[in-house]
Structure 1
């Protein structure tokens, strides 16, 4: 997964729809970020060439990039501490728009991000990531 000095297997840009907001009706902070998954993504070249499917690790990467782009405090002081869980429930195909909706919970030393990744066909994955706040 990419970080400040890392690289990503995903070329799609993160488009922040909603950065973390206070939520309503007792809900916690929530963010929404979208990615246009083009057929030109390099990962499609070898991942089922006759029936391309966006790899699950790339969906997790999109969740991570969405978290950094729209996290509390814009994510600049956060680093990934753990991938707590990932469950893949539907495919992502070339041409899809992948929407990552994340709910945030403050935890000791950082934040927990519980995200749903979906396309126009429905849910693609649920992912839980934990971030630590870097105090430099």
Structure 2
């Protein structure tokens, strides 16, 4: 998959088992720079990072944090996504991820925030092996 998003997730808390829940979790940070190509045409007088770009940051962070038991999974679907606030140039996305097995699949749930508070909540499904 190619992307127009230049920002890349940086690990803040390395992927591993959550001591409270036992689920696989991680935390990533993504700096949204003013030089992102999507800002050129997306509300030029009041730049907003498009929701699809927030989703791309979540996907990239999720795929950098796959649990060992889910090795080889591939993105299958966005189960739900709710945008709660706009993301602007200069914001830093804080992405909290939790992975859980769901039958033959895996679910990755993300809570995304900026310094102003919650920005999005996302649930993605990942599929193991070659299943369609």
Structures share fold, TM-score greater than 0.5:
yes
State the alpha-carbon separation in 1 of the partners of residues 69 and 113 from structure 2.
22
> Structure 2 residue aligned with 1:13, among 5, 8, 24?
8
2:114 aligns with 119
- Is 1:80 the counterpart of 2:75 in the alignment? yes
Deviations 1:17-65 (A, max 9, x none): 2233211233522111111100000000000000000000111111111
Q: Which moved more, 1:13-22 or 1:123-132?
A: 13-22
CA distance in structure 1 between the partners assigned to 2:113 and 2:25 by the alignment? 15
Is there any run of 5+ residues in structure 2 with no aligned partner, and where? none
Give the Cα–Cα distance (whole angstroms) in 2 for the partners of residues 91 and 28 of structure 1.
29
Structure 1 residues not aligned, in runs of 5+? 1-5
Superposed CA RMSD: 1.8
Q: Is the 8 A contact 1:28 1:103 kept in 2?
A: yes
- More displaced, 16-25 or 28-37? 16-25
CA contact (8 A) 2:8 2:57 kept: no
Q: TM-score, normalised by structure 1?
A: 0.88
TM-score between the two structures when normalised by the length of structure 2: 0.90
Can you list the C-alpha shifts for 1:83-104, whole angstroms capped at 9, x where unaligned? 0000000111101111110111
C-alpha spacing 1:18/1:93, structure 2 compared with 1 (3 Å): same
How many residues end up aligned between the 2 structures? 130
In structure 2, the residue corresponding to 1:48 is in which secondary structure?
coil
Q: Which residue of structure 2 aligns with residue 53 of structure 1?
A: 48
